[in-house]
């Protein structure tokens, strides 16, 4: 008779509960580290803007200054020769990234997602430094990209470096990576909640209070730091909005469909240009020069037609122009949709470094403006302003292009503080996302990774494992064996019932461990030998309060695909890993 252990029914399960208390303490520790991550993200966001100003002043005006000129809309002192400026900036940015950090090339966020999905959140420290200079040179020199992607990569890189320096676990490093992303977005748009949502939707693999708390801390600190230097005003001056009539929702549905279609066009254009440029077998610096000259020509055409280099740089000047209700003709809006897609695609495919978040906002404002101009001309008394449609279009494009539906909606609300616009905004964002997903399964971010064979799962529904107890899925009647049972009899029992493993239980319901068919089959045993010498004495008992998720964790820790449920001295049932997985899949696939 084996020696009884009074702790056999709950020992492993209680260890798991102790581990959870430990995790709460670790989360508090990670939250404290996120104060530093938020601080660096905020300072990095501010410094990045000043660096963009520096390169703009140098490239476009020939001066050495960090002073903001407000926009790249100012007339360049180079006149027609301004078309060469983007070529010079792309060549320099391409040289820097290829030499020191190729992963800093492009729009940044996919590399962070890849690090989280494939590399335990590890990002090389040099990436942040290279990304700062390459993106600042690209944007300051007229490259048609956004600054949000680089800021996300900068903040995430610091979070990753800090986690690696402190030798944290992969999960904790990933949380710091997400905290850096949240801080970067929060500081850029003065939208701390939007920053948290961005990290949860697009960067981190899970939703839980353990991940949300550190993100909140980082985003708050980063946003506050940025507001000290840059002010607390929102990224855009948003017009007042009120929905004139319920009838107007029809136009926002149309806008949502159009936003989804343009989102797909934008995604296909970026990667189509990339494939085309990669097929050209010439030096990459020459490719950068040619692409830069084409961007310069488009910018100069914009200046000659509209008095502004709208497509150079981030493009906030055009968005402000539309949101101020100054874009009243279809020609300028249609023209901007076309040349912005081309300019952004050229910038990214020809060696530039920068994001696609701001270009998505740019395209959304132009597309919304188009719908606004049309409906205002047909129904002038029952529709909102052109600017209102532009605002809704901005959210629709961000939703369709990035897949960040809630991020786009929440950030818009933070920037407007206007509840009236939320109904059309939510409607447009959701419709745009589903239209885009019906036509292409990838977002702008995941497309870059899927082309490398890396597939990111955005489905973050609450796991059905943690919402169901093992009692509800266990087998009440099950086979087991005792230690005095003969090896031959046990093998026959398992073979006849197609079982590879059995629990071993004594007469007084004491669970000793388990026995495996493979081990018995390969064993050298005598004719009447019992299985006692072949039993794995492992703790496989859980109480009825154990949920399915805890059961899976315990199975992994004990290397056992079965657990026995025991209520005090009574055996309740047996739960298997196969049963847990089947139940979870059934619930997830339920329609």
Residue linked to tokens 């040349």: 339
H helices of 141-283, in order, are 148-165, 170-189, 192-198, 209-230, 249-279
User: How many Å apart are CA 340 and CA 331, to the nearest integer?
Assistant: 14
CB 184 within 8 A of CB 152: yes
List all residues 6 or more positions away from 564 whose beta carbon is below 8 Å from its beta carbon.
503, 505, 511, 540, 541, 542, 571, 573, 574
For domain 246-450, the CATH class is mainly alpha
Q: What local confidence, expressed as pLDDT, does residue 5 receive?
A: 44
DSSP 461: P
For residue 591, name the pLDDT band (cuts at 50, 70, 90).
Answer: very low
User: How many Å apart are CA 392 and CA 394, to the nearest integer?
Assistant: 5
Q: What local confidence, expressed as pLDDT, does residue 11 receive?
A: 60
Question: Mean pLDDT for the chain?
Answer: 87
User: Which residues on adjacent β-strands are paired with residue 576?
Assistant: 562
pLDDT at 300 over 80: yes
Higher pLDDT, 583 or 43: 43
3-state secondary structure 36-51: HHHHHHHHHHHHHHHH
User: How many Å apart are CA 465 and CA 147, to the nearest integer?
Assistant: 40
| Percentage of the residues of the chain whose pLDDT score is greater than 70 | 92
User: Which residues on adjacent β-strands are paired with residue 504?
Assistant: 481, 513
pLDDT at 362 over 90: yes
User: How many Å apart are CA 510 and CA 390, to the nearest integer?
Assistant: 70
Instruction: Report CA-CA distances (Å) from 346 to 78, 90, 146, 311, 543.
Output: 22, 10, 14, 12, 61
For the stretch 508-517, pLDDT in tens is 888 899 999 9
CB 539 within 8 A of CB 11: yes
Higher pLDDT, 269 or 70: 269
Residue linked to tokens 């200079």: 133
CB 266 within 8 A of CB 337: no
Residue linked to tokens 């839980």: 208
Both tokens of 328, joined, read 């009243």
For residue 361, name the pLDDT band (cuts at 50, 70, 90).
Answer: very high
Q: What is the mean pLDDT of residues 582-588?
A: 70
Q: What local confidence, expressed as pLDDT, does residue 526 receive?
A: 82
pLDDT at 185 over 80: yes
Look at residue 4 and give its three-state secondary structure: coil
* Among 143-152, 241-250, 411-420, 453-462, the range of highest mean pLDDT: 143-152
Question: HSE (CB half, 13 Å, CA atoms) of 365?
Answer: 28
CB 116 within 8 A of CB 175: no
User: How many Å apart are CA 54 and CA 74, to the nearest integer?
Assistant: 15
List all residues 6 or more positions away from 65 whose beta carbon is below 8 Å from its beta carbon.
53, 54, 57
Indicate the CATH number for domain 464-588: 3.10.580.10
User: How many Å apart are CA 130 and CA 510, to the nearest integer?
Assistant: 62
Q: What local confidence, expressed as pLDDT, does residue 417 receive?
A: 72
Q: What local confidence, expressed as pLDDT, does residue 322 receive?
A: 93
CATH 1.10.3080.10, domain 27-66+74-230, yes or no:
yes
Q: What local confidence, expressed as pLDDT, does residue 590 receive?
A: 44
User: How many Å apart are CA 45 and CA 227, to the nearest integer?
Assistant: 11
For the stretch 527-570, pLDDT in tens is 788 888 888 888 889 888 888 888 888 888 888 899 999 888 88
User: How many Å apart are CA 178 and CA 354, to the nearest integer?
Assistant: 19
pLDDT at 73 over 80: no
Both tokens of 226, joined, read 């940025």
User: How many Å apart are CA 478 and CA 501, to the nearest integer?
Assistant: 12
Sequence spans of domains, the chain = 27-66+74-230, 246-450, 464-588
CB 547 within 8 A of CB 466: yes
For the stretch 331-357, pLDDT in tens is 999 999 999 999 999 999 998 988 899
User: Which residues on adjacent β-strands are paired with residue 564?
Assistant: 541, 574
- Assess whether the region 246-450 and the region 464-588 belong to the same CATH fold: no
Q: What local confidence, expressed as pLDDT, does residue 366 receive?
A: 96
pLDDT at 47 over 50: yes
Q: Following DSSP, what letter does each residue of 58-87 receive, concatenated? A: IIII--------S-TTSPPTTGGGGGGHHH
List all residues 6 or more positions away from 74 whose beta carbon is below 8 Å from its beta carbon.
60, 61
User: Which residues on adjacent β-strands are paired with residue 502?
Assistant: 515
Q: What local confidence, expressed as pLDDT, does residue 401 receive?
A: 96
Q: What is the mean pLDDT of residues 119-137?
A: 87
Is the Cα torsion angle 226, 230, 232, 237 positive or negative in sign?
negative
CB 340 within 8 A of CB 359: yes
């Amino acid at each position: 008779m084996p020696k009884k252990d009074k702790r056999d029914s709950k020992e492993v399960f209680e260890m798991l509960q102790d581990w959870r208390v430990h995790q709460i303490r670790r989360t508090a520790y990670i939250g404290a580290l996120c104060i530093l991550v938020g601080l660096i993200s905020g300072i990095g966001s501010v410094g990045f803007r000043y660096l963009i100003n520096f390169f703009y002043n140098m490239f476009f005006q020939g001066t050495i200054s960090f002073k903001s000129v407000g926009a790249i809309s100012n007339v360049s002192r180079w006149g027609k020769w301004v078309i060469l400026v983007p070529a010079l900036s792309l060549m320099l940015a391409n040289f820097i990234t290829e030499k020191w950090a190729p992963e800093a090339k492009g729009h940044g966020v996919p590399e962070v997602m890849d690090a989280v999905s494939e590399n335990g959140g590890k990002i090389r420290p040099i990436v942040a430094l290279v990304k700062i200079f390459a993106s600042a040179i690209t944007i300051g020199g007229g490259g048609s990209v956004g600054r949000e992607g680089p800021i996300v990569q900068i903040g995430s890189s610091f979070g990753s470096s800090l986690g690696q320096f402190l030798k944290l676990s992969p999960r904790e490093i990933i949380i710091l990576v997400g905290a850096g992303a949240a801080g970067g977005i929060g500081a850029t748009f003065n939208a701390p909640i939007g920053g948290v949502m961005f990290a949860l939707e697009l960067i981190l693999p899970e939703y839980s209070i353990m991940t949300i708390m550190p993100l909140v801390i980082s985003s708050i600190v980063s946003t506050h730091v940025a507001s000290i230097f840059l002010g607390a005003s929102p990224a855009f001056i948003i017009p007042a909005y009120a929905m004139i009539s319920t009838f107007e929702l029809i136009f926002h549905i149309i806008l949502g469909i159009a936003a989804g279609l343009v989102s797909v066009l934008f995604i296909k254009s970026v990667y189509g240009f990339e494939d085309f440029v990669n097929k050209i077998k010439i030096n990459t610096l020459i490719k950068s020069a040619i692409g830069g000259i084409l961007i310069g020509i488009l910018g100069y055409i914009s200046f000659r037609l509209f008095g502004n280099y709208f497509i150079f740089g981030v493009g906030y000047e055009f968005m402000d122009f539309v949101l101020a209700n100054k874009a009243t003709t279809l020609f300028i809006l249609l023209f901007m949709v076309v040349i912005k897609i081309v300019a952004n695609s050229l910038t990214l495919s020809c060696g530039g470094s920068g994001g696609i978040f701001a270009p998505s906002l740019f395209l959304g404002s132009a597309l919304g403006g188009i719908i606004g101009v049309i409906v205002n001309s047909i129904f002038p008394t029952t529709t909102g302003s052109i600017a209102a449609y532009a605002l809704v279009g901005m959210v629709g494009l961000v939703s369709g292009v990035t897949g960040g539906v809630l991020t786009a909606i929440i950030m818009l609300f933070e920037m407007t503080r206007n509840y009236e616009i939320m109904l059309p905004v939510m409607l447009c964002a959701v419709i745009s996302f589903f239209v885009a997903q019906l036509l292409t399964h990838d977002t702008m971010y995941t497309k870059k990774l899927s082309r490398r064979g890396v597939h990111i799962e955005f489905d973050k529904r609450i796991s059905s494992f943690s919402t169901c107890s093992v009692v509800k899925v266990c087998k009440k009647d099950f086979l087991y064996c005792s230690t005095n049972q003969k090896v031959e009899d046990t093998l026959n029992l398992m073979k006849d019932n197609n079982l590879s493993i059995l629990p071993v239980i004594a007469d007084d319901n004491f669970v000793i461990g388990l026995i495996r068919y493979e081990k018995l089959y390969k064993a050298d045993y005598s004719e009447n030998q019992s299985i006692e010498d072949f039993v794995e004495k492992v703790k496989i008992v859980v109480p009825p309060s154990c949920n399915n998720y805890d059961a899976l964790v315990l199975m992994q820790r004990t290397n056992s695909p079965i657990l026995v449920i025991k209520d005090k001295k009574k055996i309740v049932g047996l739960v298997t890993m196969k049963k847990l997985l089947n139940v979870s899949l059934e619930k997830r696939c339920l329609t």
